[in-house]
């Protein structure tokens, strides 16, 4: 399991994003590395990948390999966390309203909507707790327990 942390310019992060696969992890990192001041990926509490201000600082990667990965995962456009927040809130509503057969796709949509919200918040230094933010996994757990 990989944990992706989006750091703001003061070295703080909101919550990690969890991903099982390397490809999904790299997609998130390379999509947002130019927007977020710092990204750190850990596995079993060890740093396995890190960026600072759009530059990969760990591990050392040859330029041709780096360019290949960057082509595979183009950068996200600049946007605001406050623009991403309504999308995230709508995903929460869909997850809560989903029937048993539709829950897993709704949960995946919620997880996906959380990624840009956290990235844009880190790029702006915005504390999402001031906007009633709750972590997707926490919401998913609560919905699952209501069965």
pLDDT of 84 strictly over 90: yes
pLDDT of 147 strictly over 80: no
For residue range 87-140, what is the model confidence (pLDDT) as tens digits?
Answer: 999 999 999 999 999 999 999 999 999 999 999 999 999 999 999 899 999 999
What's residue 145's pLDDT? 93
Q: What's the domain count of the chain? A: 1
Q: Helix (H, G, I), strand (E, B), or coil: what is residue 63?
A: helix
pLDDT grade for 28, boundaries at 50, 70 and 90: very high
What's residue 99's pLDDT? 94
pTM, two decimals, is 0.93
| Averaged pLDDT, 43-65 | 94
Supply the range of the domain harboring residue 98.
2-145
CA distance 143 to 55: 38
Percent of the chain predicted with pLDDT > 90: 94
Count of Cβ atoms closer than 10 Å to residue 43 Cβ? 13
From first CA to last CA, the distance across the chain in angstroms is 26
Kindly calculate the radius of gyration of the chain based on its CA atoms and give it in whole angstroms. Answer: 16
For residue range 73-82, what is the model confidence (pLDDT) as tens digits?
Answer: 999 999 999 9
């Amino acid at each position: 399991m990989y944990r992706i942390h989006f750091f703001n310019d003061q070295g703080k992060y909101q919550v990690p994003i969890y991903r099982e696969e390397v490809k999904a992890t790299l997609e998130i990192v390379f999509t947002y590395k130019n927007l977020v001041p710092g990204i750190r990926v850990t596995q079993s509490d060890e740093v396995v990948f890190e960026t600072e201000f759009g530059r990969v600082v760990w591990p050392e990667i040859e330029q041709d390999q780096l360019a290949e990965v960057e082509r595979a995962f183009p950068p996200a456009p600049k946007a605001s966390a406050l623009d991403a927040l309504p999308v995230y809130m709508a995903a929460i509503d869909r997850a809560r309203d989903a029937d048993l057969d539709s829950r897993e796709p709704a949960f995946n949509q919620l997880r996906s909507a959380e990624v840009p919200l956290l990235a844009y918040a880190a790029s702006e230094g915005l504390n999402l707790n001031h906007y009633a933010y709750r972590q997707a996994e926490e919401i998913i757990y609560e919905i699952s327990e209501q069965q």
